[in-house]
Amino acid sequence: MGTFHFHGDTTALPLTAILVEPTDAKESAMVMSRYQNSGQLQALKPPVVVAEMMGMVMRVRQFLDANYALVASATGLLLALIVALSRRLRAREMETLFLLGCSRGTQFALQAAELLIIFAAAIVLALAAAWATVGWARDYLNTLAG
């Protein structure tokens, strides 16, 4: 108590919390019982409260991880479907290329190059959108904070 001090007028600094460190279980029970039925005051055991909060955070994280896995799986399946339908739609075109003398390996390389170009364009667009979002969100959040 002797080393604790305020910087400023003590009447302008309201007391919102107090830290009690009981020396044994009896004193802990006494402190907890004193504030148990109070309507305005509340006594908490920090390790218990932190453990409850961390448990909730971990449950939310597990939910978000499962959600991420489902979304990633659905996206992968959608991509596979798009590639399969594209190959089926372009089968006559690939057959014409084969009849003109293009090997199957070259046809595969052409299709792989097309997918690579599409993925590269998607990555560039995603990075540009993320950069724009971060720039906009920073300004927007600063306006909310005042």
pLDDT in tens, 100-123: 999 989 998 998 999 899 999 999
Which residue range is the domain that position 142 belongs to?
103-146
Q: Which two tokens stand for residue 120?
A: 């590269």
- Is the residue at 72 inside a domain? no
- Is the residue at 26 inside a domain? no
- Is the residue at 127 inside a domain? yes
> How confident is residue 6, by pLDDT bands cut at 50, 70 and 90?
low
- Is the residue at 65 inside a domain? no
- Is the residue at 77 inside a domain? no
- Is the residue at 123 inside a domain? yes
Q: Is the pLDDT assigned to residue 45 strictly greater than 70?
A: yes
- Is the residue at 54 inside a domain? no
The model's pTM: 0.53
- Is the residue at 22 inside a domain? no
Q: How many domains does the chain have?
A: 1
Q: Which two tokens stand for residue 53?
A: 């909060």
What residues have CB less than 8 Å from 14, skipping those under 6 apart? none
Q: Are 36 and 28 in contact (CB under 8 A)?
A: no
> Which pLDDT value is given to residue 5?
67
